[in-house]
Amino acid sequence: MRRSCKECLKDAYSDLKYLLNRGYRKSHALKFVADHYRLSLDDRYLLARCTFPDDWISGVREKLVSSLDGGTLAVDGFNVLITIESVLDGEAIECEDGLLRDVKYQGRYRMSGRTERVIKLAVEAAKAVGPDEVIFFYGRSVSKSGLIAGITERVMKRKGVEGEVRLVRSPDFVLKGFDTVATADVGIIEKVRRVVDLPMMVASAHNIKPVSFLRLIESRSQISP
């Protein structure tokens, strides 16, 4: 018989954190811990997205900036758009490393009636950072990426933002070559010198307070499985 456990998620987080701080690979540690506590898919995904070893957290906080004195800001286009939509829906989570992430199983970005508004918010936030130019990168294999790129170009022109929009096969690969990138993607963050959290800037500008990961852990742990 499965036992009732109000603290399962909190305990799973503590165990996962312990293993990560001792150098265990996240995928292996997460599977071991999540299987042990028989966590739901939602809880597994939450831990995967938001739990990090302490050295990663301190490293990201050193890289995180909200203003630039010129230079180029490269934007991980779909990553940023998905997270801004989560901000507007009240579903974005402030993870342990201080970055906002979505915790939906969305996968690829899907164009909708609010896409232009979301792009406008991203462009305004990017402009506020203070770069000389902004370059948005979108994966060209994503459905309607050409239309989204065109909207982004028009919004940038309308807002007086210097830069360009590029459709590329692998945005992650290209973005790793830039100094400053707006993204929450772990693989990109570990390769670049500075990181900008545009969704967090959008949240702040619109008086939206995203829930913190640890607070969410507490709230979910109050519900017996």
**CATH numbers and ranges of domains, the chain:** 8-60+212-220 (no CATH), 64-209 (3.40.50)
Q: Check residue 137 and report its DSSP letter.
A: E
Candidates 34, 136, 18; CA nearest to 76 is 136
pLDDT at 80: 98
Confidence (pLDDT) at 222: 67
Q: Whole-model pTM? A: 0.93
pLDDT digits (tens, 9 = 90+) for 187-197: 999 999 999 99
pLDDT attached to residue 5 = 62
Start-to-end Cα distance in the chain: 12
* 72, 179 Cβ separation under 8 angstroms: yes
Give me the pLDDT at residue 103, please: 87
C-alpha 156/C-alpha 150 separation (Å) is 10
Contact 82, 102 (CB under 8 A): yes
Residues of the chain with pLDDT under 70: 1-6, 105, 222-225
Instruction: Report the pLDDT value the prediction gives residue 100, as an integer from 0 to 100.
Output: 98
Q: So what's the pLDDT on residue 6? A: 60
